[in-house]
Amino acid sequence: MSEIVKQSNMVGFKLMDGADMGDILDIILDDNEQCDAELMPGGFWEVDCDGELVVDLRKISETLERPFDEKDFLQYVSSFYGRVSVEHEQIRLISEILMVSDYETHDPKKAAK
């Protein structure tokens, strides 16, 4: 048996549908123009992006008018693919391997100085 392995930069989440999912998806899709979301049979959303997907937890909190952090978001996550990091009120999925020094270059607090 032969299998073909293809390189891919795709990252994504499988998210369970719920009361707030429409608002959450609107924010994710507005912030990540290269992303697609599709409601799959079984009642979950498949959100796919090329290279990077950023979930802005601060924007979600503002829209829902209540605190919403990474623990709240993870209640919706069924699975994900990509390398995940939580930083600066954001969840990032990326396709590349980052070193500690790479995270420092993405620090918006340092960039603002």
Q: What is the pTM of this model?
A: 0.78
Element of type H or E holding 111? helix 108-111
Domain 10-111 fold is: Phenol Hydroxylase P2 Protein (3.90.56)
pLDDT 10s digits, 9-21? 899 999 999 889 9
pLDDT 10s digits, 38-70? 999 999 999 999 999 999 999 999 999 999 999
The pLDDT of residue 3: 77
Lowest mean pLDDT among 2-6, 49-53, 80-84, 107-111: 107-111
pLDDT 10s digits, 67-90? 999 999 999 999 999 999 998 899
Query: Cα–Cα distance between 6 and 113 in angstroms, integer?
Result: 41
| pLDDT at residue 112 tops 50 | no
In sign, the C-alpha dihedral spanning 109, 66, 31, 71 is positive
pLDDT bucket at 113, cuts 50 / 70 / 90: very low
Query: Cα–Cα distance between 77 and 39 in angstroms, integer?
Result: 14
